[in-house]
Amino acid sequence: MGGAYFIGVRGQAVNQNWMRMRDFFRMRAHFGWLYAALSRLKCPNTPIVRTAAPLIDRVLHHLDQRTQRNSAKFDECFGTKTYGRLDVPVNGDRANPVIWGYSAINHDFFREIMRNIPASLSEYTFVDIGSGKGAAVLMASEYPFKHLVGVELNHELVDEARNNVQRFNERTGKEIAPEWSVGDFFQWGPPQSPCLFFFNNPFPEPLTLVAMQHLEKVLSEHPYRTLLVFRKAPKTCGDYLNHSTFWMPLRLAPYWRVYARTSAP
Ligand SMILES: C[S@@+](CC[C@H](N)C(=O)[O-])C[C@H]1O[C@@H](n2cnc3c(N)ncnc32)[C@H](O)[C@@H]1O
């Protein structure tokens, strides 16, 4: 583990503002730091920013387009079919479905996050909550995780994820064999071993906060080291995590955060 982990374990104050400033510039892939800075600049209502707004919008649009084009590259490279947006029902109620978007994580963003985790990954099982077509699980196979697990509500997406593993193995000559759990995260139990939970914006905002509270409850029966990676945490959930005594922040970049469980052995 890196220094930040030990700082928290010893109960010393971790200055989250300082951490946020430090981690802003860790978002190097696709000029993430510039994207975040310009997105924030759009908000203030000063004359100077109002004048520059069209230029800021153009730069943001250009950066977005560039990322979109780049996102298809993982599939081109590995023969998989993970790219594209889909609307999926996520509450199991056919009469009043809550729809949420599926889209795979960009490979460069995934690598950026993994590179910045101050822990040795080899003792952890990688668990993608809301694993969709399996992109993050496939990407995690580049790292020395003990096992790979995907939890996904939508069984058609899990079938696609299985096909993607086959294509990926054929293309790379690897023999990765992730475990897929088809069903609701809220009904699922974690492996009895150290886990890294990966949340890439899997739920609508109100459910995300409930999901974090649920995870803490489940983990209270689970006496193992745990890491939590959250990409694009909604504000309520991010604030909750930052104040929770269950989690200690290790990295606080604008678009992704890494926490370690405080009470694990
Ligand atoms: C944004 S996609 C993330 C895809 C994948 N993690 C990645 O990074 O490539 C969110 C996924 O979460 C799934 N999901 C939503 N609610 C869920 C739940 N309660 N249990 C399990 N999966 C869920 C959706 O079906 C969708 O595939």
Residue of 152, 182, 184, 197 to test ligand 1 pocket, by largest number of atoms within 8 Å of CB: 152
- Domain annotation covers residue 15: yes
Structure tokens at 257: 């955060």
Among protein residues, the one with the nearest Cα to ligand 1's atom 1 is 102
Of 19-23, 63-67, 95-99, 135-139, the range with the highest mean pLDDT is 135-139
Write down the pLDDT at residue 104: 96
- pLDDT attached to residue 264: 56
Structurally, how many domains does the chain consist of?
A: 1
**pLDDT, greater one: 7 or 207:** 207
The domain that holds 239 is classified in CATH as 3.40.50.150
List pLDDT tens digits, range 204-257. 888 999 999 999 999 998 889 999 999 999 999 999 998 889 999 999 999 999
Q: Where are the alpha helices (DSSP H) in the chain?
A: 3-9, 16-24, 32-41, 47-71, 73-78, 107-115, 135-140, 155-172, 205-219, 235-243
Domain of residue 108, residue span = 3-20+78-261
Q: How far is 262 from 8, CA to CA, in rounded Å?
A: 8
Taking the complete model, does pTM exceed 0.85, yes or no?
A: yes
The atom of ligand 1 lying closest to the CA of 185 is 20
Q: Is residue 96 part of a domain?
A: yes
Query: Which two three-digit tokens encode residue 138?
Result: 């496939």
> Residue-wise over 40-50: b if at least 16 C-beta within 10 A, else e?
eeeeeeeeeee
